[in-house]
Amino acid sequence: MYCGTCMVSIEDALAKVPGVTRARVNLTTKRVSVTYDPSRTSTERLIETLDGIGFPAAELIESSAAEADARDRDFLKRLGVAGFAAANVMLLSVSVWAGVAGDMTESVRSMFHWLSALIALPAIAYSGQPFFRSALQALRGRRLNMDVPISLGVVLAATMSVLQTTRGSDQVYFDAAITLLFFLLIGRYLDQSMRTRAAGAAANLLGLKATTATVLDDDGTTQRLSARSLKAGDRILVAAGERFAADGVVEDGTSEVEESLITGESVPRRISRGATIYAGTLNGAGAVIVRTTAADQSTLLAEIARLMDAAEQGRGRYVRLADRAARLYAPAVHILSAATFAGWMVLGHGWEAALTAAIAVLIITCPCALALAVPAVQVAATSRLMRQGVIVKTADGLERLADADTIVFDKTGTLSLGEPELIDTETIPPDALSRAAALAANSRHPYSRALVRAATARGFDVVAADGVREVPGLGLECSGAGKPVSATLAGHVPERLGAPSFVGRATTTADDDTSILGYRRPDGEVVTFRFADTLRPDAREIVSTLKDAGYAVHLLSGDRASAVAAAADKAGIDDFASEIGPAGKLRRIEELTRTGAKVLMIGDGLNDAPALAAGHASMSPANAADISQTAADTIFQGQKLRPIVETLSVARASQRMALQNFAIALGYNLVFVPLAMLGHVTPLVAAIAMSASSIAVTGNAIRLKSKRLELRR
């Protein structure tokens, strides 16, 4: 399976099977996903259907890395043999060409031709097997793919050359046949390598997960078990330098975790008790004990792989266009070749000249470049974004992102981190901060976690206080030493941490973009803590970059006016609206759309689902908790907004490169097909030109993986 024609043939054949409601082929992973009614058909029947059209199939079993390496080695062997043969046959051909103009005798020329045949024919038989097998499978299934004209052209060129050699002719085309195979193998190897790496960007993530884990039993003993046998609730010991085998929460120990494969962030994250970790990330500094929350196929890593696979099964509009063009073009190749042969015969040029021109047309009109034009770009783009921590969930997501001209941000959790931070810590009495953090140590409230983080950053060893109880909706209360809350020590009152009214402070709300929490000491004194949901560190820089690139930037938030105004001012956004709920955001996006704007909505994948769906395109900053539920087309991770610029840059560049590849493929055909039909292109030149066009579109796409991109108007 190598081209759009193959994909369409498979999907059409499966769609005709009773009970099948959906069939979608993933060319990159060589897989087909079928949705069907088990009461009306079966897996066996689906496999028989695929076998019947020339595509032997089997139920999915994950292939090992060793098998993939064996396939690559086999392909490289065929490429090496073709290259060796092409070089030697070309040397002989150059000698013959030079001899024609000199005094080479007929016997010497004939010997050179037979030597060329001796080198080329075994090489063609061996190196051409991938094309020949694919063509035979297609013909058995009564269909055409792009390997049919390739195989036909190679076989005809080789056969005609043998006949010409036996007759002592001056012209043979062994060089064309073997050179065609050599360049085609180069192009296909580049394409397959890129697809393998792209598929590996998701699938190989699973390979980074530890295969075994050290499990701690209740009695303190340890045992080494397979990662597949882990389940939620297990306690595992992860040493420094090991990868985590499952998602979980740190119960004991401190370390640093390198999680670039999940978030795209290269800087290690400091972890301690209560921190969340993910399968596949690398434990860097010290041993930690982790309580697993998800294992095997339930981990974030497995979910990302599933999302990537689902996106690859889709079709963007350019991919659909290329597939249709390749499908229609395949029979046109044979029609043009037959018409060329008939035309030359009618004009009385003889069968040799007619067949030579027909072979050249057959070779030069192969739709390889057209079939590779868009998929190659799509694979390169998604692979690049995956390395940046960006997951493309929909096949046409990048195409719609490239069209966007207006960007709408949500505030909390999108423009901001969504995690309150304690501010003005230098003015807080150290003993008050330490004691308040002790009260908050076991609480999961965002403000409590912020207090613990701040105390830890100040160097305090936070130990949970005894006798703490939570008062729902108000805060935490502690009597100390495990005494009843109602009891008081001489001259002391119970400690409280919570809302200003709960601790006895008159002010209940902040008058700016901050929030207030109070801590009442045992002596009754109240210490105020101020929290701010800080903007992402590069928010202002990214907004400025987007505006410079010509995007209109808006901010919509359900937060209070003062907080939204402050956030908009810090980020440099002039157009903002506050206290606007999900329905209001939806209406605002619909209004922008009616004015002709193509809106990119960037918001919380859970709370902003209606607005995300209404936008022309959508992105979400997502952590592991909601990555599978988010409604966005594209997901980025990490604490920075830089992935937005990277994604938009890649989207625009991929659109340009897709159009460039279309231009290369179509321009090549418009120039060379008429020349070939008129007899001005030999089979050798046709082979080089066709292979060059395929390599050109693949090479152009590969540039996207490392090209420096800037977001401009």
Tokens 């490429």 — which residue? 79
Distance CA 675, CA 673 (A): 5
**β-strands 20-26, 31-36: how paired?**
antiparallel
Task: Yes or no: say if 405 and 432 are a contact pair by the CB < 8 Å rule.
Answer: no
Rounded CA gap, 50 and 587, in Å? 48
Tell me how far CA of residue 449 lies from CA of 336, 410, 436, 465, in angstroms: 72, 23, 11, 15
Which is the catalytic residue, given 191, 234, 410, 513?
A: 410
* Cβ within 8 Å of residue 186, ≥6 positions away: 79, 691, 695
Q: Give DSSP secondary structure letters for 518-578.
A: EEE-TTS-EEEEEEEEEEPTTHHHHHHHHHHTT-EEEEE-SS-HHHHHHHHHHHT--EEE-
531, 518 contact by CB (below 8 A): no
**Residue 650 · residue 385 · CB < 8 Å:** yes
Residue 332: CB partners within 8 Å, gap ≥ 6? 365
Nearest CA to 689 among 362, 373, 336, 321? 362
Alpha carbon 251 to its chain's center: 33
Residue 551 to residues 155, 225, 405, 611, Cα–Cα distance (Å)? 55, 53, 5, 18
Distance CA 94, CA 175 (A): 10
Joined together, the tokens standing for residue 262 give: 């999940």
Q: Mind spelling out the 3-state secondary structure of 209-235? A: CCCEEEEECCCCCEEEEEHHHCCCCCE
Give dist(CA 710, CA 702) in Å, integer.
17
Give me 574's structure tokens. 């002039």
Residue 371 contacts residue 4 (beta carbons within 8 Å): yes
Whether 410 sits among the annotated catalytic residues: the reply is yes
CA distance 329 to 668: 14
Question: From the CB of residue 643, how many other CB atoms can be counted at a distance below 10 Å?
Answer: 23
Radius of gyration of the CA atoms of the chain, in A: 33
Walk across the sheet containing 282-283 and list its strands. Answer: 269-271, 255-258, 282-283
Q: What is the DSSP string of 365-396?
A: T-THHHHHHHHHHHHHHHHHHHHTTEEE-STT
Angle at 226 between CA 224 and CA 228, to 5 degrees: 150
Q: How far apart are CA 22 and CA 8, in angstroms?
A: 13
31: β partners: 26
- Residue 638, Cα to own-chain centre: how many angstroms? 16
Catalytic residue numbers, as ranges: 410
